Amino acid sequence: MNARLFKFIGVLINFISYFSREYAAKLSIKLFSTPLKGRLDAEATQYLNTAIQEDVIHENILIKTYLWKGKKETILLAHGWESNTYRWKSLIEILKPLDYTIIALDAPAHGASGGKLFNALFYSECIHTVAKKFKAHTLIGHSVGGTSTIFSQYNYQLESVKKIVALGAPADFVDVFKRYETMMGYNNRVSKAMEQYVLKEFNHLPEYYSAPNFIKEIDARVLTIHDKKDRIIPYTDGLKFKKIYEKVQFISTKGFGHGLKNETVYNHIVDFLNA
């Protein structure tokens, strides 16, 4: 959707909020949770057919997983919003010759997985289910996939997980919501109603969900990489992770954008895996 359409929808939801804040919040959260792309195309399907595929069920949602077997530790890959496992192709091709076992999953409502809605908290549960099944040693996530891996380990403290890599990850829910609300042009009634919706559904207000704060309670070693030119998740989010220097190794890049698909980034990841 283009910017004008976003603003038009925002105006409609603002109008609805004067009659029912709860319904306006429900609509705004549903829109926020509905990916418009991220399914597999023919090229992606052809590549992913080189993996051993298995369907894992979490709360009646089919989660598609892809396995490339190796003799070393298991690395789990979790993509971000409106993406799928194919985004990891370049990194997978680097890790395979190093003999790591690689397991990747398509998020709910993405790739070949089931479902129509997505949120970071449910994604974190799916990540845990897959990580536990395959005894993942390292979790690597991009964008919201990075945040969700941190949420997953914070909530479940899986003993097998020793390392986490978060690439271009949002630091907290508050700023993610603010950027969404600004993009849509929501009024204060909708914003407040969204907060109450999150509280009702997840038992916490958005400010509770802070990945840097959660890292403080995680024993695993953490690497975060963020690009100064990231136009999707601001560099200031990365700096929030940097502040947790006792727990986080932070690497700043410039010119790789939000995708961070670059050999330099991959070398940093491999160095972290070998450390």
Please identify, among 189, 207, 225, the residue that sits at the C-terminal boundary of a domain: 207
Per-residue pLDDT band at 27 (split at 50, 70, 90)? very high
Q: How many domains does the chain have?
A: 2
Same-domain check for residues 65 and 187:
no
pLDDT of residue 73: 96
Q: Which residues contact 263 (CB under 8 A, 6 or more apart)?
A: none
Could you list the residue range(s) of the whole structural domain that residue 260 is in? 41-172+209-274
Same-domain check for residues 195 and 129:
no
Buried b (16+ CB within 10 A) or exposed e, 176-207: bbeebbeebbbbebbbebbbebbeeeeeeebe
Same-domain check for residues 4 and 60:
no
Instruction: Calculate ∠ Cα 28-110-14, nearest 5°.
Output: 10
Residue 5: helix, strand or coil by DSSP?
helix
pLDDT of residue 85: 98
For the chain, give me the number of helices (H) and strands (E)? Answer: 11, 8
pTM: 0.95
Please identify, among 190, 207, 224, the residue that sits at the C-terminal boundary of a domain: 207
pLDDT of 245 over the 90 cut: no
Same-domain check for residues 241 and 266:
yes
Per-residue pLDDT band at 1 (split at 50, 70, 90)? low
Same-domain check for residues 226 and 106:
yes
Q: For residue 1, give both structure tokens.
A: 């959707």
Task: Please compute the mean of the pLDDT values over residues 162-175 and round it to a whole number.
Answer: 96
pLDDT of 31 over the 70 cut: yes
